[in-house]
Each structure stands twice: as structure tokens, then as C-alpha cells.
Amino acid sequence: MIMGAEPRLGVSDPGPARRPWQPCCARTATLRACDGAPGSVHRLDPFSLISSHGARQAGEASLRALRVLLVVLLLFALAIGAFFLWARHSEIATIDPSRRPPADEAVVAKGAELAAIGDCDVCHTVPGGPPYAGGRPIPTPFGTIYSANITPDATTGIGHWSQAAFRRAMKEGVSRNGNDLYPAFPYDHYAKLGDDDIAALYAFLMSRAAVQSRPPANALIFPLNLRWTVAVWDLLYLDRTPFRPDPKQSEAWNRGAYLVQGLGHCGDCHTPRDRLGGERTAAAFAGGTAEGWSAPALTAASPAPLPWSEAQLFRYLHQGWDTAHGAAAGPMAPVTRDLARASASDVAAIATYVATLEGPGAARPAAAAATANARPLPTETVSASPADLGATLFEGACANCHSGISPMVPPHGIDLRRSTAIGAPDPTDAIFIVLDGIRPVEGERGPWMPRFDGAFTDAQLAALLNYLRAQHSGTPPWSDLDSRIRALRQSKERS
Amino acid sequence: MIELTVNGTAHRVDVDPATPLLYVLRDELQLNGAKFGCGLGQCGACTVMAEGEAIYSCLTPVAALQGRKITTVEGLGTAGNPGPLQRAFIAEQAAQCGYCIAGMVMRAQALLQRNSSPSDAEIRAEMEPNLCRCGTHMRILRAIRRASSEMRTASTQNATEARP
């Protein structure tokens, strides 16, 4: 084929005349120069730097080079063709929702608990809107994605999806009609799920009230607004291997690992991402970001002043706060609200697994657990001068709740020497918490910290946080505090 | 000495700069509208405004408020000449024991200054930090809606009358 094309080179072929609306360069595909004069031809010379004398001698060499170029181009075209063939997904036929066999109640109940671990409602519900009806804007570095309606509505939801279509969406990130789904939907985690669990989730979702609601169209930058580009992402980041239990670990640990790596998609926030938005698996759980907040590391790099014990993790995850570590805030708050509805044994398994992520130091023997706070708290060595504005503000605004008299029991806040946010490398979470407070969902119970955004100016907030950092963390001052305060005050990501 | 501007009047008070505003209002300036409820920012009875934003006066040290305009419920009107929001609270009989009302009025005032026609959802979300143990929340919500619509009508009438 390539050889057949060769004799055309250099033949005086006038070629199609250029029309006024045709860009000149469009014709370079016919290996024709852009001089515009019909009939005039010259050879496209890849070695155009060679003088016209030299060109004659270099003729053969350039022909060889062209041949190589064509081979490369053809291989490239074949690769692209193969990629698109591979990336093309078939449509899975719709089903008649009225003919869906009724699901077993126990399976639906199991699906409800699993959906709580997967936090499905958090993204698939507009705050205050009907559950699972989608439409919540998910900000990404590449634009805004609106979550899908996953109620059983047949026209705008997934009521006409078969279980097979649902399974493919969960594990491969492909919609029923064959379109790629964006990885804001964490199918790269759900790929680890077992089919039984997916069946339970399907049964649960199909038991929800159908809501007719079409989410707004995504607003993503080019070329990511073309769904097929996700197939490239999948090539790079989608690991299709199912979860493999570690026979050396306990059953609870393995259950926890399965839930954390799969359905819980904890790494979605707690693992750093690269520029293309893929999780850097080599740095799993080393800390990431979520909705503008920083999600602390769960590994040995954890900024928590005290190591997390299994029991503390369980309480924190299941009730939303723990006396030694404080209350869940920001995007973690809805996660713990969901985990309150999950099965206690699954949450305990998650705690078992996560407690081991900190490394051997954290897995303390029962004897040491008696003196649970093995890592010493920083002592209050920095003495504040009376003129220190931060100390004054702390005394008037914070000390009533945070004076460190006892472990946190709401309404009293945590002893700030135990605060992860104050000791964290990034001041973002501490700024958010002081500005916006910590509040439970309207009408629900939970720790309540009042907001201080109206009370403090930027400079006052900086003075307060600098004081808290120096007094309570024993870590060096934040270098970017002032600029972070200004930026976050203006950001739209605050509640 | 701490300099404070409350309801348009400048005051110089000799207090520890860490003192929360509430104690200065009540003990030094005899402005008893703002109430002590919990002292922990959990109930909202002490709410006043600083530069138009609702703050908990029980948790805001006066050191943070120098040079900023503070408004308390006394700044909105008097018993003889109540302000629009106070009139609406009276019209809807929104107070039972009345302990929370000054805080409710101030948080609602901050909302209406920022957003003159809030939706019901916006009113509820804004008022959530303020508690009423008598349970007159529904009347309080009605009073805020009434004030919002009366303040809008008044501003429209003013605009119409101002035309030649």
C-alpha cells in the first residue's frame, strides 16, 4: 500500500483548485505546497534546509525518510483506530421497569447500608433536594460536573437500566447507552466491588422514590467535554483487578480494606492526585484535597497530634466526633453522617484497616492502649505576651469551649493541642473551621461550633491562628497564612 | 482604653481587651437588649451586628471590634418608635417569654440588609443558629417575612413619591 502511493510523489498533478473558503494548509494533505498557483508543484522536502543543489543528491535519502514517515503515520492511524474500537462501548438494552422482579427486603436493607458507606447521596443529591435525584454541581479542576439522577425514574433517572447496565457503570464507568462516565464518579474505586454488593446497591436504588429531574449539562473545558477522552484516562488510571484479600491479615482488616479501597472511595479525597486528576497510587492516603479543604494524610504522615486508635476511629466515623480528635468538619461531615447509618460491623472493619495505615507505631498492643495517648501532647511552652492580639482573641472568643480542661464533650470543643487542623501543614482547614464553624445538618444533632466570619477581620483571624499554631501545635508557623485567609474569604467553596 | 462605636455613639471603656462585647454592652453601657443565654455561641440570644454582619457578642472580644460599627437592638428603634422589623415582630406577636427575641431580630436584620427578599429556605438557614425555647419559631418566621415585604413596599413607595 505504501509503495503504491510512492509514484505520486513529484508527479505534476494540478490537483483540485483551492476554493476561496478552503484554507491553504488543507491541501498539504496532498503533499502540495501552499503557493496557491494551480499546476505549480514542488516536492515536499522534509530536508528543506538542504540547498537545491544538495537536494538532488539527497533525493533518495528523502524518499526513504518519506517512506519511514508514512509508515509511522499509518501505524499511528492504526493505533488511533484500535483505540477507538477499544474505547467504543455497546449500548445495553433498556428494560421495562414494571417488569423488574421485586427485590428481597434483606437485599434492599443491605444495599441501604452499602449506599451509606459509598456516600452515594452526598454527590447525587442537591442540598435540601430530593435524595438521589442528582444535579449537584461537582467542581473539578477541569470544570463543573453535575451528578446524575440515580432514582428509578424511567426517563431522567436509571429506572430503565438493567442490573447488568448498572454493574458496568459501577465497575467500568460506562453509561447504559455506551457513553463514558466522568471519573468524578469514582468507578476507579467501585471496580473493586463484588457483584453481590453491586446487586444490593441496585436493589436499594430501585426501591427509592422515582424523581423526574434532569441535571444541568456539564460545563467542562475542551477537549474533556468530549466523553471519549475519558477512555484515555481509563487507560492510565483504571485498574480493573478485583479486590484481593491479604491472607496474612484478619477478616475484619480485609473487609475494611475492601470497603475503604472500593465502595468507600476514601482515596478519592485522601490520596494526592496528579495533573490529569488520577490518584497517585504510589502515595495512597498521603493526603489530598476535597472541595477546597485539605484532606489529611491517613498514613504515618498524618498531622493528627495523637495517633488514631481503632476505637477512636470507630467513634469518629460512626458518631462524627471523638473526644481525642474532635469533630468531622467540611466534606468529612456528610461522610460520617452516612456512616452513622451503615452497619456497625462494617464501620468497625473500616476502623481496623485505617488504623493500620499509620504504620506499626499506631497498632499498639492492648497494654499500651491503657495509656492511649502515647504520643506526648506538646506542652504549652510559648508564653504569650499580654500585648499578643491572638492571645487576647483566644481568651475572649475560644477559651470558654477550648480551654483544654477536659477531653471534648459537646458543647465543649476539643483541647486544641489535639487538633489536626491546627497542626496540619496547610492552614486551609483551620481557616474554614474558624470562619464557618462546624454545624450539623439542619434539624439533626451533632457538635456545633459557632461561625466567626463576622467577628474577625483578616488580620485578627491571622493573629488568632498564628497564636493557636504557636501555642498548641509545637510546629513551625504557617508561611502562607495571610494569603490563604484572603483567598478563602473570597472563595465560593465555603458553606 | 477600648474605643467602641455602638448605635452611632462613640464610647471609651476601661476593660480587659479580651472581654466579650456582651459584658461591656450590659455592664458598662447599660444596653441590656442583647441577652446572655449560654455564653458558648450555641443559642444566639446575644446576637448583635458588627458592620452589618450578625455576631455572637458573648464570644467576640472587644479587642476585635475597635473601629467597627456595632448595632444592637436598641439601635433599630425605641419602644415608642419601633423599627420595621420590631413592628413586624409585634404585629405577629412573635415573642412569648421574649428572651431570645433581641437576638432573633438582630440576625434577621443582618439578613434583610444583605438580601431584602429572602426565600423561606434562606430565612430558615440564616436563622438556624438562634434558638427559642418557647417554640414561637413559626411566628418569628412570619414576622421576618412580613418585615421583608413591608420594607420592600416602603422602599417602592419612597421611590414613587420621590419622582416629580
CB contact under 8 A, B59 and A452: yes
Across-strand partners of A279?
A: A273
In angstroms, the separation between the Cα of residue A145 and the nearest Cα of chain B is 25
Q: Supply the range of the domain harboring residue A169.
A: 97-237
Amino acid at position A344, single letter: A
| Cβ atoms of B51 and B68 closer than 8 Å | yes
Pick B59's closest partner by Cβ from A397, A442, A448.
A397
In angstroms, the separation between the Cα of residue A482 and the nearest Cα of chain B is 17
Helices (H), A378-457: 389-393, 399-402, 420-423, 428-436
CB contact under 8 A, A392 and B61: yes
CB contact under 8 A, B40 and A411: yes
**Domain annotation for chain B: domains and CATH numbers:** 2-162 (3.10.20.30)
CA angle A433, A439, A443 (to 5 degrees): 170
> What is the C-alpha separation between B113 and B107, in angstroms, rounded?
10
In angstroms, the separation between the Cα of residue B146 and the nearest Cα of chain A is 23
**Is A244 inside any structural domain?**
no
Asked if A207 and A299 sit in the same domain, the reply is no
pLDDT at A36: 39
Asked if A265 and A182 sit in the same domain, the reply is no
pLDDT at A39: 41
Asked if A183 and A261 sit in the same domain, the reply is no
Classify residue A290 as exposed, middle or buried by CB count within 10 Å of its CB (0-12, 13-18, 19+).
middle
Strand-by-strand arrangement of the B9-13 sheet: B9-13, B2-6, B69-71, B47-50, B53-56
Other Cβ atoms less than 10 A from the Cβ of A430: the count is 28
What would the pLDDT profile of A263-285 be if each residue is shown by its tens digit? 999 999 999 999 999 999 999 99
Other Cβ atoms less than 10 A from the Cβ of A76: the count is 10
> Measuring CA to CA, how many Å separate A463 from each of A384, A434, A458?
12, 12, 9
CB contact under 8 A, B59 and A439: no
**Among A340, A370, A400, which residue terminates a domain?**
A370
Other Cβ atoms less than 10 A from the Cβ of A354: the count is 25
Parallel, antiparallel or unpaired: strands A219-220 and A288-290: unpaired
Is residue A126 less than 8 Å (CB to CB) from chain B? no
Helices (H), A145-194: 163-172, 187-190
Amino acid at position A60, single letter: E
Other Cβ atoms less than 10 A from the Cβ of B80: the count is 5
> What is the C-alpha separation between A193 and A187, in angstroms, rounded?
10
Q: What is the DSSP string of A206-231?
A: HTSPP---PPPPPEE-TTTTSTTHHH
Classify residue A343 as exposed, middle or buried by CB count within 10 Å of its CB (0-12, 13-18, 19+).
middle
Asked if A344 and A257 sit in the same domain, the reply is yes
The 3-state secondary structure of A265-321, one letter per residue: CCHHHHCCECCCCCECHHHCCCCEEECCEEECCCCCCCCCCCCCCHHHHHHHHHHCE
| Number of separate domains in chain A | 4
Amino acid at position B113, single letter: Q
**Which chain A residue has its CA at the smallest distance from B51's CA?**
A454
**Among A39, A55, A87, which residue terminates a domain?**
A87
> What is the C-alpha separation between B108 and B89, in angstroms, rounded?
11
| Cβ atoms of B88 and B121 closer than 8 Å | no
A chain contacts of residue B62, beta-carbon cutoff 8 Å: 396
**Is A115 inside any structural domain?**
yes
> What is the C-alpha separation between A77 and A431, in angstroms, rounded?
52
Asked if A327 and A302 sit in the same domain, the reply is yes
Report the CATH number at residue A165: 1.10.760
Asked if A332 and A274 sit in the same domain, the reply is yes
**Is A242 inside any structural domain?**
no
In angstroms, the separation between the Cα of residue A443 and the nearest Cα of chain B is 9
Pick B64's closest partner by Cβ from A411, A442, A455.
A455
> Measuring CA to CA, how many Å separate A152 from each of A31, A155, A213, B110?
56, 9, 11, 42
Q: Which helix (H) or strand (E) holds A251?
A: helix A251-261
Instruction: Tell me how long chain B is.
Output: 164
A chain contacts of residue B19, beta-carbon cutoff 8 Å: 396
**Is A160 inside any structural domain?**
yes
| Cβ atoms of A331 and A293 closer than 8 Å | yes
Pick A392's closest partner by Cβ from B18, B38, B128.
B18
Residues of chain B whose C-beta is under 8 A from some C-beta in A?
Answer: 17-20, 38-42, 49-51, 53-56, 59-64, 110, 121, 124-125, 128-129
CB contact under 8 A, B64 and A453: no
**Which chain B residue has its CA at the smallest distance from A129's CA?**
B121
**Is A384 inside any structural domain?**
no
**Is A243 inside any structural domain?**
no
Other Cβ atoms less than 10 A from the Cβ of B13: the count is 16
Asked if A265 and A232 sit in the same domain, the reply is no
For residue A48, give the DSSP letter: T
Q: Which of A179, A178, A180, A181 is nearest to A91 (CA)?
A: A178
CB contact under 8 A, B50 and A455: yes
Is residue A127 less than 8 Å (CB to CB) from chain B? no
Low-confidence ranges of chain B (pLDDT < 50): none
> What is the C-alpha separation between A330 and A400, in angstroms, rounded?
23
pLDDT at A373: 42
- The grid cell for A71 is 509508515
Asked if A292 and A366 sit in the same domain, the reply is yes
| Cβ atoms of B92 and B146 closer than 8 Å | yes
Q: At what angle do helices B84-91 and B137-162 cross, to 10 degrees?
A: 130
Pick B56's closest partner by Cβ from A389, A439, A450.
A450
Asked if A102 and A8 sit in the same domain, the reply is no
**pTM for the model:** 0.82
In angstroms, the separation between the Cα of residue B93 and the nearest Cα of chain A is 25
End-to-end CA distance of chain B: 51
Coil, strand or helix at A189: helix
Asked if A63 and A128 sit in the same domain, the reply is no
Residues 295-354 of A with CB under 8 A from B: none
Is residue A258 less than 8 Å (CB to CB) from chain B? no
Q: Which of B44, B109, B36 is nearest to B70 (CA)?
A: B109
**Is A443 inside any structural domain?**
yes
Interface ipTM: 0.93
pLDDT at A31: 36
> What is the C-alpha separation between B13 and B64, in angstroms, rounded?
14
| Cβ atoms of A60 and A69 closer than 8 Å | no
- The grid cell for A415 is 483541647
> What is the C-alpha separation between B39 and A164, in angstroms, rounded?
57
Low-confidence ranges of chain A (pLDDT < 50): 1-16, 18-51, 362-376, 378-384
**Is A484 inside any structural domain?**
yes
Report the CATH number at residue A462: 1.10.760.10
**Among A87, A119, A146, which residue terminates a domain?**
A87
| Cβ atoms of A157 and A204 closer than 8 Å | no
Asked if A216 and A107 sit in the same domain, the reply is yes
**Which chain B residue has its CA at the smallest distance from A444's CA?**
B128
In sequence order, the 6+-apart residues with CB closer than 8 A to the CB of B74 are B7, B31, B33
